[in-house]
């Protein structure tokens, strides 16, 4: 791919580095983050697509997490880059019973429910009361037009899986037209809300993000590059001389286009299959991307993923469950060894059936039957406990209560049971809350620079209020609110914390 970077000439973007970034580095990034998504979603693939034709269990599918199982179970030898569709068949090893219990998905989803299970509220800190109410209405309409609670949950899922999520703030066409318009006018609030709803908040998944950072400051993004494949609304056909001659010209699938997007504070470009299809000046004057780490990780652009530390434990759990399934398969059914009886192999063992033979040494021996293994069960339980400690998400978070857990009628007792989960959620409230504040400030700055709705820096300051994920006593909350009011906490903030809109 040949890049024409004249628009970035003043900024010193190196074409050779960009070529390496979008070819070699992009493939490594997609493979690394794609593995995390596969462990979270665990999609199924049909056996024919995976290059396998049959199993002892008779299942027609394989699952993505099988890539972490040893060859003695799957019958396939894989390397780090092969994935579920790669690898080669192991000699003299047949595929055995495979058991996949995805303990990652429900933990990630439970963490998302704790963070964004209820709608969040945005409270403006503008000193002007009227502008304060208008700013809150604008922000509410922007997030509502982009999915509302679903947008926040998607953000938390992507952040939890990959370790970070980026939000690209794309102004609508009407806002871009106002940048180039010579006439400046005062828009009524209804028109401002209508144009604000056209602002697109696009969540960028990690496999397509290739940020170019400042060499001396890893927190500053100089260029934001995206490399991905775009599905076209057209079919891909096999069109060669031989296929036309034999009449085999037929559709093979959906057309895919290789896309590369580059944006900086001054300009932008878009490439399709190596050709420049669009470029222009960045009229915003700043990079419209907000970076949000899932959990803060110093000296790295990426944050800490909730999935990555669970992958080795998930592989160990699936391995032991598969081993146990194979043992049960071999031992749970009675098997018989007949000696000296002619045609024994052709006769089923059933009640009332008799064998006769003239051989005095003939015998029928019974073997098999399930024999429990306490050490195996303890090992599986210890793996689950390790996953609980690593993720801070215990079964009680998902509502699974087994055995005696004490007196949960006390709110304090419940919080002690969920201490790890609550602490981790508080850390995420800070990182995601700061990201949401930056998105709000960026939206208001775009409207201000387009002369659609004027705001100052003070008007763009926001507070993000996360409701408590735990069931709470309403009377206790009201008493707490009364005490906060006596201490001088603003009434509007107290109402928002109680879930009321003024």
Torsion 200-206-207-213 (CA) sign: positive
What pLDDT does 145 receive?
Answer: 94
Tokens of 75: 């019958």
Range from 259-263, 348-352, 386-390, 498-502 that averages highest in pLDDT: 259-263
Check whether 244 has a pLDDT greater than 80: no
464: enclosing H helix or E strand? strand 462-465
What pLDDT does 141 receive?
Answer: 95
Query: pLDDT band at 18, cuts 50/70/90?
Result: very high
User: What is the distance between the alpha carbons of residues 49 and 52, in angstroms, rounded to a whole number?
Assistant: 8
In tens, the pLDDT along 137-152 reads 999 999 999 999 999 9
User: What count of residues does the chain have?
Assistant: 502
Look at 79-83, 351-355, 380-384 and tell me which has the smallest mean pLDDT.
79-83
288 burial (CB, 10 Å; 0-12 / 13-18 / 19+) is buried
In tens, the pLDDT along 346-356 reads 777 666 677 77
Instruction: Return all residues near 27 (Cβ < 8 A) that are at least 6 apart.
Output: none
227 burial (CB, 10 Å; 0-12 / 13-18 / 19+) is buried
User: What is the distance between the alpha carbons of residues 443 and 462, in angstroms, rounded to a whole number?
Assistant: 12
- Cβ proximity of 437 and 292 under 8 Å: no
Query: pLDDT band at 378, cuts 50/70/90?
Result: confident
Look at 85-94, 230-239, 389-398, 478-487 and tell me which has the smallest mean pLDDT.
85-94
Question: SS in 3 state form for 91-114?
Answer: CCCCCCCCCCCCCCHHHHHHHHHH
- Cβ proximity of 360 and 301 under 8 Å: no
Does the pTM surpass 0.85? The reply is: no
Q: How far is CA 101 from CA 98, 237, 315, 319, 380, in A?
A: 10, 39, 10, 10, 12
Query: pLDDT band at 431, cuts 50/70/90?
Result: very high
CA angle (412, 417, 419) in 5-degree steps: 85
What pLDDT does 50 receive?
Answer: 46
What pLDDT does 118 receive?
Answer: 87
- Cβ proximity of 234 and 255 under 8 Å: yes
Residue 56 or residue 212, greater confidence:
212
Check whether 159 has a pLDDT greater than 70: yes
Check whether 54 has a pLDDT greater than 50: no
In tens, the pLDDT along 443-485 reads 999 999 988 899 999 999 999 999 888 767 677 788 888 898 8
Query: pLDDT band at 208, cuts 50/70/90?
Result: very high
Check whether 132 has a pLDDT greater than 60: yes
What pLDDT does 409 receive?
Answer: 56
**Three-state SS for 58?**
coil
Query: pLDDT band at 126, cuts 50/70/90?
Result: very high
Q: Which string of b and e fits 451-485 if b means at least 16 CB within 10 Å?
A: ebbebeeebbbbebebbebeeeeeeeeeeebeeee
Alpha helices in 230-310 (DSSP H): 241-246
Alpha helices in 296-367 (DSSP H): 311-331
Q: Tell me the percentage of the chain whose pLDDT exceeds 70.
A: 84
- Taking the alpha carbons at both ends of the chain, their separation in whole angstroms is 55
In tens, the pLDDT along 288-308 reads 999 999 999 988 999 999 999
State the average pLDDT over residues 37-58: 70
Tell me which residue has tokens 């944006």: 263
Residue 398 or residue 281, greater confidence:
281
In tens, the pLDDT along 209-228 reads 999 999 888 889 999 999 99
């Amino acid at each position: 791919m040949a890049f024409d970077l004249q628009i970035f000439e003043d900024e010193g973007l190196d074409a050779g580095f960009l070529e390496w970034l979008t070819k070699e580095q992009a493939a490594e990034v997609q493979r690394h983050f794609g593995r995390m998504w596969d462990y979270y979603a665990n999609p199924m693939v049909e056996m024919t697509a995976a290059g396998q034709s049959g199993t002892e269990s008779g299942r027609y599918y394989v699952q993505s997490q099988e890539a972490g199982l040893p060859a003695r179970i799957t019958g396939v030898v894989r390397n780090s880059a092969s994935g579920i569709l790669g690898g080669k068949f192991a000699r003299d090893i047949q595929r055995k019973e495979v058991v996949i219990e995805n303990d990652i998905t429900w933990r990630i989803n439970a963490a998302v429910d704790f963070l964004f299970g209820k709608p969040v509220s945005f409270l403006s800190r503008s000193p002007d009361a009227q502008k304060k109410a208008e700013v809150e209405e604008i922000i509410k309409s922007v997030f509502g037009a982009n999915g509302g609670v679903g947008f926040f949950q998607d953000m938390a899922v992507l952040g939890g899986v990959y370790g970070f999520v980026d939000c690209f703030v794309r102004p609508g066409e009407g806002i871009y037209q106002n940048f180039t318009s010579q006439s400046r006018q005062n828009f009524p609030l209804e028109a401002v809300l209508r144009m604000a709803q056209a602002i697109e908040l696009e969540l960028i998944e990690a496999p397509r993000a290739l940020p170019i950072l400042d060499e001396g400051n890893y927190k500053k993004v100089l260029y934001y590059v995206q490399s991905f494949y775009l599905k076209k609304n057209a079919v891909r056909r096999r069109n060669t001389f031989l296929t036309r001659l034999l009449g085999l010209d037929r559709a093979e699938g959906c057309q895919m286009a290789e896309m590369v997007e580059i944006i900086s504070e001054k300009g932008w470009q878009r490439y399709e299959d190596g050709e420049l299809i669009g470029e222009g000046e960045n009229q915003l004057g700043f990079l419209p991307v907000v970076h949000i780490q899932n959990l803060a990780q110093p000296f790295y652009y990426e944050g800490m993923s909730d999935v990555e530390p669970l992958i080795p434990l998930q592989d160990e759990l699936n391995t032991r469950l598969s081993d146990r399934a194979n043992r049960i398969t071999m031992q749970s059914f009675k098997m018989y060894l007949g000696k000296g009886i002619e045609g024994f192999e052709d006769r089923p063992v059933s009640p009332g059936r008799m064998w006769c033979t003239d051989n005095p040494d003939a015998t029928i021996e019974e073997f098999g039957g399930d024999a429990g293994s306490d050490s195996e069960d303890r090992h599986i339980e210890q793996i689950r406990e390790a996953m609980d400690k690593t993720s801070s998400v215990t079964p009680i978070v998902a509502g699974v209560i087994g055995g005696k857990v004490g007196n949960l009628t006390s709110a304090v007792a419940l919080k002690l049971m969920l201490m790890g989960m609550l602490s981790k959620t508080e850390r995420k409230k800070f990182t995601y809350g700061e990201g949401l504040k930056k998105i709000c400030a960026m939206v208001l700055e775009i409207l201000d620079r387009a002369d659609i709705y004027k705001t100052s820096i003070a008007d763009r300051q926001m507070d993000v209020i996360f409701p408590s994920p735990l069931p709470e006593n309403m009377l206790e909350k009201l008493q707490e609110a009364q005490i906060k009011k006596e201490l001088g906490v603003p009434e509007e903030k107290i109402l928002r914390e109680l879930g009321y809109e003024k």
